Amino acid sequence: MRILGAIARHPSGRIGAAIIAVYLLAAVLGAFGITPHDPLQQFRIDRLHAPSTTYWMGTDLLGRDATSRLMRGIGQSFVIAFASVAIATAAGTVIGLLAAWWGNLWDGILMRVMDVLLAFPAILLALLIIAIVGPGTFTSVAAIGIVYTPIFARVVRGPALSLKQRDFVDAARTFGSSQTFILTRHLLLNLVAPLTVQVTLALAWALLTEAGLSFLGLGTQPPSPSLGLMLSESRNLMERAPWLMLFPALVIMLGILGFNLTGDALRDILDPRTQGRAA
């Protein structure tokens, strides 16, 4: 609650939180089917209808209402983005921390494995995983999660290495603090800032990767809508029905903006140094 209040007071946090709130609302409504129309129903007469009072964002080639599909798609895309980034953050942080802490051989082994993963283009690696396991929401989540794990491992390892050298870690050793205590209180707590920034960035990338996978037909399966799928379907109709591209693109863009603004605000709020210096 304290953090929510602080976000509301933070200038850019306010905007970001507002955007995310609108998206959450849209996603919840979409999930419960409270949409202007059924997202799967095809209004054959109104195919490629321009935005109007009936169809707020127009209709697609099959006459489905774009607004309703977007509302459903936001939920789908965001669940995948959040879940995969959560996996990547957890796995990457643990790997990066341990690599930095153990050092030497383990550092070499863990980080070389991460380098191998990082060497593949993200979408190609995701494709590979999906090709082995088969498409579906869970596979998408797992694939995107694995793809972004090395980035988190790298982001964590660098600062963790320098924190490890700081005097307060040595001080903790002289008190006899346990390794777990040092890793969590002294290293992890100081990694909050780079991690929040990375999470907000990764959320944006994950949205795009999901869109890319769906575009290739390996993410969300039609007829269920997702932002990426809608974008890919609109590709051939760009000149005849630009709204079909415009709205999903705007939704993705604003969503990413929302995450980034909120992330910036969180980073500031979680840093005790920004809570004003005492004279």
Partner 1 sequence: MSALLSVQGLRVGFGRDPQRSEVVKGVSFDLGAGQTLGIVGESGSGKSVTALSINRLVDFGGGRITGGSIVLERSDGTPLDVTKADESSLIHVRGRDIGMIFQEPMTSLNPVHTIGAQIEEAFRLNRGLSGRAATLAARDALDRVRIPDAAQRLGYFPHQLSGGMRQRVMIAMVIASNPRLLIADEPTTALDVTVQAQVMALLAELKREMGMAMIFISHDIGLVAGIADEIMVMQSGQAVEQGRLNDVLDRPQHEYTRHLLEAVPHFNGGRATRSDGKRTEAATPVVAVDDLVVRFPIARGLFRTGAGSVHAVDGVEFDLLPGETLGIVGESGSGKSTAARAVLGLVKATRGRIDIAAGRSRRPVQMVFQDPFSSLNPRLDVESLLAEPAIANGQRVDEKLRQRMMFLLGRVGLPDDALRRYPHQFSGGQRQRLCIARALMLNPDVVVLDEAVSALDVSVQARVLDLLIDLQHEFGLAYLFISHDMAVVERIAHRIAVMYAGQIVEIGDAAAVLSSPQHSYTRRLIAAVPAIERRQARFTIDATQVPSLVRPAGFEPAPPQWREAGADHRVRVEANP
Contacts with partner 1 by CB under 8 A lie at: 166-168, 170-178, 181, 185-186, 189-190, 192, 271-273, 275, 277-278
| Closer of 166 and 240 to partner 1 (Cβ) | 166
**Minimum distance from CB of 186 to partner 1 (Å)?**
5
Quick one: DSSP state of residue 59?
Answer: B
Helices 243-270 and 227-234 cross at an angle (nearest 10°) of: 150
| Closer of 49 and 186 to partner 1 (Cβ) | 186
| Closer of 221 and 275 to partner 1 (Cβ) | 275
**Residues facing residue 65 across a β-bridge:** 59
| Closer of 62 and 172 to partner 1 (Cβ) | 172
Tokens of 35: 């949409």
Phi and psi for 216 in degrees, rounded to 5?
-85, 0
**Minimum distance from CB of 166 to partner 1 (Å)?**
5
| Closer of 117 and 172 to partner 1 (Cβ) | 172
Tokens of 191: 């990694």
**Minimum distance from CB of 274 to partner 1 (Å)?**
9
**Minimum distance from CB of 37 to partner 1 (Å)?**
50
Q: Residue 79, class by beta-carbon neighbours within 10 Å (0-12 exposed, 13-18 middle, 19+ buried)?
A: middle
Give SS3 for 71: helix
**Minimum distance from CB of 136 to partner 1 (Å)?**
40
**Residues facing residue 59 across a β-bridge:** 65
* Three-state SS sequence of 178-235: CHHHHHHHHHHHHHHHHHHHHHHHHHHHHHHHHHHHHHCCCCCCCCCCCHHHHHHHHH
Q: What is the torsional sign of CA 202, 29, 70, 8?
A: negative
| Closer of 134 and 176 to partner 1 (Cβ) | 176
**Minimum distance from CB of 265 to partner 1 (Å)?**
18
